[in-house]
Amino acid sequence: MATLLDIRRKIRSIINIQQMTKAMKTVSTVKLKRAQQALLDNRAYAHRLPVLVSSIVTRVDRSLHPLLEKREEKKIELIIITSDRGLCGAFNSKIRDKAIEFIEDKREKAEIYLTLIGKKAITYFKKENFKVHFELPGIFQDLKYEKIKEIAQSLIDLFLKKEIDAIYVIYNEFRSILRHELTVRKLIPFEEIEEEKEKAQTDYIYEPDAKTILEKLLPSYVENQLYHFLTESITSEHSARMIAMENATNNAQELIDELILIRNKVRQAMITKELVNIMTTIRALEGR
């Protein structure tokens, strides 16, 4: 049986762990608040830009811009967005499973290339003999639009050189603090919206002209969407970590309560034993 000293030591170390998880939870809460605000402010733009793009795509001839070209999807680029750091529950493992499912599904008909964002994706998928185009570790520490612009441009270049035919993204989309949703999105080629087709007879007046607008709009669309997916992911990550740390703190409390109970019992047992000892000694002395 554990001695009183052992139990006390254990309690102390669990209290230390609990303090750490508590602190991490607080940090995540603060980070989450900031990320959530930035995300909500960004959403109006990020959600409506695709509507604009597809309503143009529905109206114009696809030969107008090389990015609009639709080819059979034989080479697919899959962008996997995970986190750099762990301790956020099933956040990364779910992404990983979904990515593997996606790859298994498409593998027979297409070659798959990967763009790995976040250290967790890199450490996992590099082991597994996949063809990797780009790796972006540590991007979340200081999420800069310029950096995303670069990577978006490299992906666009690959598409224009016909080295890839489509780009898909897997990421966590933030719903609420308690919920984020695994999401798969197609980034390129651009899809038409069916409902717009009827309205499409009335074309826009383009200023200066459709080609010039598309030349500016399409690349910035890809950048903007990619940036948006990353902000969705990082907000989900903070919320996942906050919840994970909250659970860890609660579990530590349960353990502490349990151990305190045991400690008290052991201490009581020792006291009782000592009392019994004293009593027997007294009896023995009296009896003499």
List interacting residues with other proteins (CB under 8 A).
38, 41-42, 44-46, 48-49, 52, 55-56, 202-208, 210, 212-213, 216-217, 224, 227
Closest distance of CB 233 from other proteins, Å: 17
In contact, 83 and 118? CB cutoff 8 Å? yes
Which CB, 212 or 272, lies closer to other proteins?
212
Q: Which burial class, exposed, middle or buried, applies to 77 when counting CB atoms under 10 A from its CB (0-12, 13-18, 19+)?
A: buried
Greatest distance between any 2 Cα atoms in the chain: 118
Closest distance of CB 228 from other proteins, Å: 8
Closest distance of CB 42 from other proteins, Å: 6
Which CB, 212 or 277, lies closer to other proteins?
212
Question: Strand locations in 63-159, DSSP E?
Answer: 75-81, 111-117, 131-136
CA separation, residue 15 to residues 2, 9, 159 (Å): 19, 10, 54
Identity of the amino acid at 5:
L
Question: Which positions ≥6 away from 47 have C-beta within 8 Å?
Answer: none
Closest distance of CB 90 from other proteins, Å: 30
In contact, 193 and 55? CB cutoff 8 Å? yes
Which CB, 90 or 204, lies closer to other proteins?
204
Which CB, 43 or 94, lies closer to other proteins?
43
| Nearest partner of 159 among 64, 51, 52, 65, judged by Cα | 65
Closest distance of CB 75 from other proteins, Å: 30
Closest distance of CB 47 from other proteins, Å: 10
Q: What distance in Å separates the CA atoms of residue 134 and residue 114, rounded to the nearest whole number?
A: 7
Which CB, 15 or 213, lies closer to other proteins?
213
Q: Three-state SS for 147?
A: helix
Which CB, 212 or 268, lies closer to other proteins?
212
DSSP secondary structure letter of residue 192: P
